[in-house]
Amino acid sequence: MPTILIVDDEEDIRELIAINLLREEKYTLLEAINGLEALHLAKTKRPDLIILDLMLPEMDGLTVHKNLREDPRTVNIPVIMLTARGRLEEKIQGLEMGADDYLAKPFSPKELILRVRNLLRRTNQNHGGSLIETGPFSLDKNALKLHLEGDEIELTATEFKLLLSLIESPGITQERSDLLKKVWGYSDMIQTRTLDTHIKRLREKLGSNGNSIETVRGVGYRFLEETV
Note the residues at the interface with its own copies (CB under 8 A).
Answer: 72-73, 76, 88, 91-92, 95-96, 98-101, 108, 110-111, 114-115, 118, 121-122, 125-127, 130, 134-135, 141-144, 156-157, 160-161, 164, 168-172, 225
Q: What is the largest CA-CA distance in the chain?
A: 69
Q: What DSSP designation does 106 have? A: S
Rounded to a whole number of angstroms, the minimum distance from the CB of residue 156 to its own copies is: 7
SS3 216: strand
Q: Is 200 one of the binding residues for DNA (CB under 7 A)?
A: yes
Question: Residue 115 or 198: which CB sits closer to DNA?
Answer: 198
Please state whether 161 falls in left (phi above 0), alpha (psi between -120 and 50) or beta: alpha
Contact call for residue 217 and DNA (CB under 7 A): yes
Instruction: Give the x/- contact pattern for DNA in 153-172, rule: CB under 7 A.
Output: -x-xxxx-------------
Measured from the CB of residue 101, what is the shortest distance to its own copies in angstroms? 8
Strand partners, 150: none
Nearer to DNA, 131 or 186 (CB): 186
HSE, side-chain direction, 13 A CA sphere, residue 122: 13
Do 143 and 164 touch, CB atoms closer than 8 A? no
Q: Reading across the β-sheet that carries 145-148, which strands appear in turn?
A: 131-134, 137-140, 145-148, 151-154
- State yes or no: residue 199 binds DNA (CB under 7 A): yes
Question: In angstroms, rounded to a whole number, what is the distance separating the alpha carbons of residues 48 and 38?
Answer: 13
What's the min distance (Å) between Cβ of 157 and its own copies? Answer: 4
Q: Is 84 in the site for DNA (CB under 7 A)?
A: no
Q: Using CB distances below 5 to 8 A depending on partner kind, what does residue 91 bind out of DNA, its own copies, none?
A: its own copies
Q: What type of residue sits at position 212?
A: S
Nearer to DNA, 127 or 200 (CB): 200
